[in-house]
Amino acid sequence: MLDKSKKFKKRNSDQPLINERIKYSKVRLIDMLGSQLGIYSSNEAIEIAFKQGLDLVVISDKSDPPVCRIVDYGKYKFAREKKAKEARKKQHNASLKEVKMRYKIEEHDYRVRINQALRFLKSGDKVKVTVMFRGREIQHCNLAIELLNKMAQDLNTLAEIQQPPTQDGKT
């Protein structure tokens, strides 16, 4: 049979430590303006918060004694969620984009590939440049390395090389 007390504790542990949920014997109390009021028992701290018409929220339970702050919990929760949303909005995951070409590329096509790479780099992505060989062209891998070095030289203002050219099969 399922123990109901464990189920209740699990559900209760997901919720933040505010007001009556605070079970520490002593807490460090901070008021709304950020100034320290001192160390109080948790019951005294809750009474002080209720007298002001506000809530007592645990800010840091890792310190000794735990730090609690007197705040309006609704505003505190809203500000915390807004801050987290802004952080997610500013976050950009760099993906790897690939630019493919052959070692016998013409100048105009080479410029197109350079512009592609520049566009990817400006949007914050990483760029992998691949030179492909067909058939016996693999014998001229030194020309492909020269082409890659030329491209690195052309892109050096906006990019840095993380890995030197390596040969992988026919690329």
- Adjacent-strand bridge partners of 36: 30
Q: Is the pLDDT of residue 4 over 60?
A: no
* 0.75 surpassed by pTM: no
* C-alpha triplet 104, 109, 112: angle, nearest 5°: 140
The fold of 4-84 is Ubiquitin-like (UB roll) (3.10.20)
- Radius of gyration over every alpha carbon of the chain, rounded to an integer in angstroms: 30
Nearest to 129 by CA among 140, 138, 120: 120
Please name the CATH architecture into which domain 96-155 falls.
2-Layer Sandwich (3.30)
Q: What percent of the chain has pLDDT over 90?
A: 1
Q: What percent of the chain has pLDDT over 70?
A: 89
For the chain, what's the residue count?
171
Would you state the pLDDT for residue 18?
75
> Is residue 11 very low, low, confident or very high in pLDDT (cuts 50, 70, 90)?
very low
Q: 7-16, 29-38, 110-119: which range is least confident on average?
A: 7-16
pLDDT tens for each residue of 89-109:
777 677 888 888 888 888 898
* 140-164: average pLDDT: 82
Residue 105 to residue 99: CA distance in whole angstroms: 13
β-pairing verdict for 126-132 and 55-60: unpaired
Spell out the domain ranges in the chain: 4-84, 96-155
Amino acid letter for position 171: T
* 51-70: average pLDDT: 84
User: Residue 160 region, left (φ>0) first, then alpha (ψ -120 to 50), else beta?
Assistant: beta
